[in-house]
Structure 1
Amino acid sequence: MNIFADSEEEDNNPFSGTNHLYASGIAGVADGEDDFIPRGIFVEEEEEKVSEADSSVLSPGQDDEGGDESFGVNSNVPFEPYVSLSMSMANGNASGGLLEDESVISIPEAGDYKDPWGKHAIGYVIKYQGREIIRRYSEFDTLRQSLVRLLPTIVIPPIPSKHPLIKYFLSPLSVENDSKIIEKRKRMLASFLNNCYAICEIRDHIVFAKFLNPEYSWKNVLNSPPIVILPMNNLLAPPLNPTKPSPLHLLLPAQTALSRLDPKAHNGSSIEQETKFAHLEGYLAKYKHSLQPLHKILRQHRLHFRSLSSLFSELGAYYNAVSLEGNVITSKLSAAQIRPLSNGIEKIGHGFDVNYVSSEILVEKLLTVLEEPVSEILQFLEESQRVLLFRKLKKLQYQIIENTLAKREARIKSLKETQHQLQRLEEALLQNARESPTIAKAVKHRESSNLCENTTQITSETTQSEQQNPQLNTQPPKQRKRDKPKRSARSIDIEPHLLTEDERQEEIQRLYKEVEKLNDCFTLIKKDMNEVNQSSLRSLSALVDYIDKKWALMLKDFTKAMICWLRECLNAWQNAKQVVSNIES
């Protein structure tokens, strides 16, 4: 049964069958509505005239004219309009902290499309090596699940989380909100593909190559090898190639908890390797401890900046309205005196407008260069815990097999020593019997007495049995033997000196076979541990390097955005101050 086939997390929603953009099941993150903000207010210069800032994100097919709103700027005023603010804020790096040398895959478009089975869904257009392929969010999700099972020792990059169905009812939905979700998903899914491409184990894997190849239907890929032959538990398969388990792998213990793991016991790793893993685990835990509160603070600051930009917008509208009112009520006689005052008021309103536009752009930057990358890093850190857990479970397998092997060998040694001691004791008794006539006579008398008692008992039992069952008389007496009593408990739980010689020999032979299998399993688990250590260490070290580089890039991008925001606000108010200073009292 393929657990990835026919994924319905995007299709069972209340808007299915309507014209709403959510009809195909587009999802958002699980943190809530405030994870998404408009793409920002981007203003463009057209023929050196004042243009209007687009405060909403247009839906596919909507004209640009329907989404603009005026900020009350008088185009006849010869002052520099707010559209001239540096476009570096709007055109800066909006990749969300992606490393530039890794951005080889892009998702430029997203929209409604019809798959080969007639389903409507939101499709994401992937551009890679001059080819285009459309994939749904559910296909990205199943790709990641497949990679997690195919590569248990590799940290798999995260994707945007699913949207619970209940949020379709709790959150107000609109075309604008749908577009925000799509824009975020485009950024995050592009980051996912580029991060996967940067990992050689994923880039060279056949499943990832088929995902980027338009010639393959993803549904058919999920229903074909290697995905359909994956084991249910990666602990019972080779860590670097789980689709080809050996018969010995099926004999390994499949533990799900670490309660039996002894951190001080030997586990097939060198002291140097254990030191490196301990350092990496502590370093990643420190990152997580620092970034979790930072993520909350970034969300709060973004909301505060959003409120501040709304105030700037309102103030700018008021000042612009006052400047227009002054021009309307001015008479021709006082026009010369009122016009400079009106222009000064309008310039102040223009300053608030510039603050509003630049603050909206800064809010977008806070989302794309800080908040989203921090969220992605936190998901990376959670994924690293899966790799560390897998390694610890393999260590537990190693310890269980090693301890079991040691117990079996100790049991064999104990049985052999007991057998040898009993033989020596019997030889000593026989030797003493030969040397002491009294003891030999007593032993001979004891053996004769036992023989007479046994003969009398057997004769009595035979006569009584024949009287009760006449049919038994046809069987010769020599063939009627008493059955040997069987032990109800396992012989391995019984002290060796309480077993008979035959039972000890039988248990020794059985334990030799177990030890042989355990030695084969021990050789196998040592090889697996070596592969797990090398692959996991390489993957976790690469993750630390990636986080360090991305964190440095995020701080640089954030610093640039703040400098641009401050520069534009300062220039606007310096111009306003110059105009106000020229007003004659």
Structure 2
Amino acid sequence: MSFDEDNSPFGAGVPSDVYQTSIREPVSLEVPEDVNPEAVQPNTSIENESPVNTPPNGPPLADWSSGISIIEAGKSTEGASRGYIAYTIKLGENTVRRRYSEFESLRSILSQIFPLLLIPPIPGKSFNLKLLATPPPNGVDTETKLVEQRKKMLQLFLKECLKMEQVRDTQVFHRFLDPNSNFNEDLRTGEITDLPLNPLCSNPFNGLDTYKNILYSYLPPEVHTTSMDLESLHLQQEDNTKQTSLYEYISLYTHIISSADLSFSHDFDKANKKVSTTARKLTDYYTQCGNSFNSFSLSEPGTELSLLLERIGTSYDQVYLIEEGFIEFIEKRFNDYWKFYLQCFGTIRDVLAFRELKGRQCEYIRSSLASKETAWQAFQKSDDESQRLTQAIRKSEGVASKHRLLLEPSLDVRFVPITVPNPPSKKKGAFSYSLSAFSKLKSTIADVITLQPELSREEQTAQLQTQINVLRQCLILAESDISKMDEFINEQFHLYHDEKLVFMRGLLREYCRHLVEVNEKCAEVWLETKAEIEGLGL
């Protein structure tokens, strides 16, 4: 299998919108003739049987979840004619340099291997980063700020990945963190080459285990889809409590995603921008006032008035530093973390879209099976009718032959027919011979086609029966996967709800606490200044 045919972000693999619902034409589900349906059994195990590997010269990855960090991000020209940004990852005693495209490839591969996991997002591309290789005179500070922000978000991505056991145990993740590994080459030669081209034809719990069950290769790669319908995401189980629980969480998270996007892009975003803009204007105002009072104090040295002006100028400098600290908290901590976890909620859309596609795939298999069974019944009915007509014709031919024997006169040797010589025929031309040859060829082809029509029909019937058996096995596999997918999604949503929403509430509380502390500190500075001025007796 070539690398471009594999699920590689560098080749022509699965497009980025593979999980997005779109309207596509249904495809036929054909099964090869040489498939033995009895030898194909669905594999319902969802356990990851891959051994847990550890990178060389280091402890298990679980021990590094708190210590992993990106310590540097800078220009590099190693192995490339043009410069690019390389991020130095430090975990334990090892360091490895990766570029942004390798982070992007890692997330793409992990999403294809584990389509049901909420893989954390990475920061999007920015065309301004291209300027860092050849920075303009006035753009260095802006580009450096963008790189630092991306470095922080990529570090969050790695920490979140290390919290997931399934991701932590994959060989591709170990290769990414291995300083002795060429990650791009590993994508071309490693276990990723075993991934199916389409996630709908892979094991939904671990795409690397797809080869263990041949039935996945017979699942339809495309299904006729429309917009997402929450009603189609019900659990197909007898336990009504689990159905209600999953449906409630799907509805809850759909509301959370829309409300979170709305609040950040409209209500809370506007409020946060107003607070940041006001704080920035205050720092500019405090800077101007501090410079003015300090200049006035220098014009009257050694007097009580100069001391008073100097104290007021110092107070403006202090509140300026307090406001700058609050702005730095908003820009470097709050905004980045808030956007990151909102993007984490956005990954739920991908999981729900994939679950919807799997549900529609199951319905498509069910409808294909029904059509094949209808065709099988039509075959059986036509065979029965054909056998009945054949028996009736044979019976009527037997009766007619008896009547011919009774009515046929006996042959008398006295009446011998006189043979008349044939008249001389004309000479046959080339055209007559060509017509004769064509007639022979036509007769030969007809004989080949109708040599054994019963055998051809038996082959068609056997092939149709094989397709029906394989479709039944595919339907069992799809229904089993969907049932376990619903349980997995339900459990994952509970954990995600408890972890991410609690963190975001804590982040909002920290925001409010910083805002209150800034105003309290500024008030304390001015109260102390007032007390000192009153102590001067002026």
Match of 2:417 in 1: none
Q: Which amino acid aligns with 2:529?
A: A
**Separation in structure 1 between the aligned mates of residue 197 and residue 346 of structure 2, nearest angstrom:** 22
TM-score by length of 1: 0.64
Relative distance call for 1:373 and 1:286 in structure 2 (3 A) is farther
Match of 1:157 in 2: 120
Query: Is the 1:369–1:558 contact (alpha carbons within 8 Å) kept by the matching residues of 2?
Result: no
Match of 1:236 in 2: 201
1:321 aligns with 2:295: yes
Give the counterpart of 2:255 among 277, 283, 286: 286
**Separation in structure 1 between the aligned mates of residue 264 and residue 230 of structure 2, nearest angstrom:** 32
Q: Which amino acid aligns with 2:90?
A: K
Identity %: 24
Match of 2:71 in 1: 108
Match of 1:391 in 2: 355
**Separation in structure 2 between the aligned mates of residue 223 and residue 248 of structure 1, nearest angstrom:** 25
Relative distance call for 1:119 and 1:221 in structure 2 (3 A) is farther
Give the counterpart of 1:307 among 262, 266, 281: 281
**Separation in structure 2 between the aligned mates of residue 429 and residue 472 of structure 1, nearest angstrom:** 36
Query: Is the 1:267–1:395 contact (alpha carbons within 8 Å) kept by the matching residues of 2?
Result: no
CA shift for structure 1 position 373? 1.7
Relative distance call for 1:534 and 1:117 in structure 2 (3 A) is farther
Query: Is the 1:362–1:561 contact (alpha carbons within 8 Å) kept by the matching residues of 2?
Result: yes
Relative distance call for 1:350 and 1:470 in structure 2 (3 A) is closer
Unmatched segments (≥5 aa) in structure 1? 7-100, 434-439, 449-465, 487-499
Relative distance call for 1:584 and 1:291 in structure 2 (3 A) is same
**Separation in structure 2 between the aligned mates of residue 234 and residue 248 of structure 1, nearest angstrom:** 14
1:377 aligns with 2:347: no
Give the counterpart of 2:520 among 550, 567, 571: 567
Secondary structure at 1:154's aligned position in 2?
coil
Q: Which amino acid aligns with 1:289?
A: S
**Separation in structure 2 between the aligned mates of residue 268 and residue 430 of structure 1, nearest angstrom:** 57
Query: Is the 1:299–1:371 contact (alpha carbons within 8 Å) kept by the matching residues of 2?
Result: no
Match of 1:128 in 2: 91
Relative distance call for 1:299 and 1:124 in structure 2 (3 A) is farther
CA deviation map 1:400-420 (0-9, x unaligned): 111111222233335445665
Match of 1:142 in 2: 105
CA deviation map 1:322-347 (0-9, x unaligned): 2222x24x7xxxx3xxx1x3323322
Q: Which amino acid aligns with 1:572?
A: V
Q: Which amino acid aligns with 1:366?
A: I
**Separation in structure 2 between the aligned mates of residue 277 and residue 308 of structure 1, nearest angstrom:** 49
Match of 1:89 in 2: none
Relative distance call for 1:282 and 1:309 in structure 2 (3 A) is farther
CA shift for structure 1 position 118? 7.2
**Separation in structure 2 between the aligned mates of residue 570 and residue 191 of structure 1, nearest angstrom:** 36
Q: Which amino acid aligns with 2:179?
A: P
**What are the equivalent positions in structure 2 for 1:134-213 lying under 5 Å apart?**
134-164=97-127, 168=131, 173-213=138-178
Match of 2:23 in 1: none
CA RMSD in angstroms comes to: 4.3
**Separation in structure 2 between the aligned mates of residue 136 and residue 347 of structure 1, nearest angstrom:** 51
Secondary structure at 2:74's aligned position in 1?
strand
1:548 aligns with 2:501: yes
**Separation in structure 2 between the aligned mates of residue 387 and residue 199 of structure 1, nearest angstrom:** 16
**Separation in structure 1 between the aligned mates of residue 174 and residue 166 of structure 2, nearest angstrom:** 11
Stretch of structure 1 that moved more, 200-209 or 538-547: 538-547
**Separation in structure 1 between the aligned mates of residue 519 and residue 128 of structure 2, nearest angstrom:** 41
Secondary structure at 1:515's aligned position in 2?
helix
Stretch of structure 1 that moved more, 187-196 or 302-311: 302-311
Relative distance call for 1:222 and 1:505 in structure 2 (3 A) is closer
Secondary structure at 1:122's aligned position in 2?
strand
CA shift for structure 1 position 241? 3.2
Query: Is the 1:252–1:521 contact (alpha carbons within 8 Å) kept by the matching residues of 2?
Result: yes
Secondary structure at 2:221's aligned position in 1?
coil
Q: Which amino acid aligns with 1:178?
A: E
Relative distance call for 1:471 and 1:213 in structure 2 (3 A) is closer
Stretch of structure 1 that moved more, 182-191 or 280-289: 280-289
**Separation in structure 2 between the aligned mates of residue 430 and residue 220 of structure 1, nearest angstrom:** 72
CA deviation map 1:470-522 (0-9, x unaligned): 89999xx9x979959x9xxxxxxxxxxxxx99998776444322212212322
**Separation in structure 1 between the aligned mates of residue 126 and residue 228 of structure 2, nearest angstrom:** 37
Query: Is the 2:232–2:359 contact (alpha carbons within 8 Å) kept by the matching residues of 1?
Result: no
CA deviation map 1:529-576 (0-9, x unaligned): 345334444444333222122113312322332233123211111011
Match of 1:248 in 2: 215
**Separation in structure 1 between the aligned mates of residue 507 and residue 96 of structure 2, nearest angstrom:** 30
**Separation in structure 2 between the aligned mates of residue 118 and residue 146 of structure 1, nearest angstrom:** 27
Relative distance call for 1:264 and 1:125 in structure 2 (3 A) is closer
Query: Is the 2:129–2:146 contact (alpha carbons within 8 Å) kept by the matching residues of 1?
Result: no
Secondary structure at 1:303's aligned position in 2?
helix
CA deviation map 1:445-466 (0-9, x unaligned): 9xx9xxxxxxxxxxxxxxxxx9
Q: Which amino acid aligns with 2:276?
A: R
CA shift for structure 1 position 147? 1.4
Query: Is the 1:415–1:504 contact (alpha carbons within 8 Å) kept by the matching residues of 2?
Result: no
**What are the equivalent positions in structure 2 for 1:209-228 lying under 5 Å apart?**
209-228=174-193
Relative distance call for 1:202 and 1:173 in structure 2 (3 A) is farther
CA shift for structure 1 position 385? 1.0
Aligned residues: 440
**Separation in structure 2 between the aligned mates of residue 503 and residue 122 of structure 1, nearest angstrom:** 65
**Separation in structure 2 between the aligned mates of residue 218 and residue 470 of structure 1, nearest angstrom:** 72
Secondary structure at 1:258's aligned position in 2?
coil
CA shift for structure 1 position 421? 7.1
Query: Is the 1:196–1:203 contact (alpha carbons within 8 Å) kept by the matching residues of 2?
Result: yes
CA deviation map 1:31-53 (0-9, x unaligned): xxxxxxxxxxxxxxxxxxxxxxx
Query: Is the 2:341–2:504 contact (alpha carbons within 8 Å) kept by the matching residues of 1?
Result: no
Unmatched segments (≥5 aa) in structure 2? 12-63, 408-427
Relative distance call for 1:507 and 1:220 in structure 2 (3 A) is closer
**Separation in structure 2 between the aligned mates of residue 534 and residue 224 of structure 1, nearest angstrom:** 34
CA deviation map 1:82-135 (0-9, x unaligned): xxxxxxxxxxxxxxxxxxx96331223333445356764433232212322222
CA shift for structure 1 position 424? 7.6
